Homo-oligomer: A and B are copies of this chain.
Amino acid sequence: MAWRARLLVEYDGTDYAGWQRQPNLATVQGDIEAALAVVFKRAVRVVGAGRTDAGVHALGQVAHADLPASAADYPALCDSLNALTPAAIAIRGVTSVPPGFDARRSARRRIYRYRLTPRRIACERQYVWQVKWPVSLAKLRRCARALPGDRFFTSFCVAKSAAKGTRCCVHRARWLSVEGEYRFEVEADRFVHGMVRSLVGTMVEVAAGKMPMTEFEQLLVTQRRQAAGPTAPAHGLCLLRVDYADS
């Protein structure tokens, strides 16, 4: 007998080759599955809501797994998983869900955050992109205001993944200013591969005066991947939260 469980997972992506299991590489999915295999003495597969890239962090990744354990065992299971996974992974909770719950397919919204700073920093530099030239917060905000809506993000998509469709509905996009740091928060029903980092890289081009605002607006319409700016580094990105119909 197996019950479907939902895992809320935080991780520091610095030393990981991403979420998704890959042979001979350290991955978050791989480490969680290895811990579950120790607990249950059999192979257990976990499915995550978002397959974050190498170096990307998560404060609120969600995954599901079918486990030979019921809700009463979850608090102890959570402790065991935290004892068995490396320090870069924190299982923040294990909860009971109906068998039809699918961490990826049932997700209604995903919220990502990107942190950058225009100044030199030392602490928390594993989580913040240090941009080496001045950027205008006002221009970053003008770019963000152009994002919400249902549109094709082909221009901001890694080429090979465009086949799966590039249409996304962005519900909210904003830049916050927090203690000298700029934080981009974006909420959408789905994201195409590389989208947040490509958007951030391109917005920074605009904010640094290297690309006119009108060109950024054109990219949102013309769907030409090559025209977008460079991709922002992975370590500034974090999967903040995944929302479901019941949450």
Contacts and interface: CB of A to CB of B under 8 A. Distances in A.
Interface of A: 10-12, 57, 59, 82, 87-92, 119-127, 238
Nearest to A91: B120
B90 A12 contact: no
How many monomers of this chain does the complex have?
2
A123 B87 contact: no
Contacts of A125: 12, 87-88
A88 B11 CA distance: 22
Contact of A120 (B90, B122, B123): B90
A119 B10 CA distance: 12
A90 B88 CA distance: 25
Contacts of A89: 122
State the main secondary structure of chain A at its contact with B: mixed
A127 B87 CA distance: 13
A120 B7 CA distance: 14
A90 B124 contact: no
Contacts of A88: 122, 125
Contact of A123 (B82, B122, B123, B127): B127
15 contacts: A10-B123, A12-B122, A12-B125, A57-B123, A82-B120, A87-B125, A88-B122, A88-B125, A89-B122, A90-B122, A92-B119, A92-B120, A123-B127, A123-B238, A124-B124
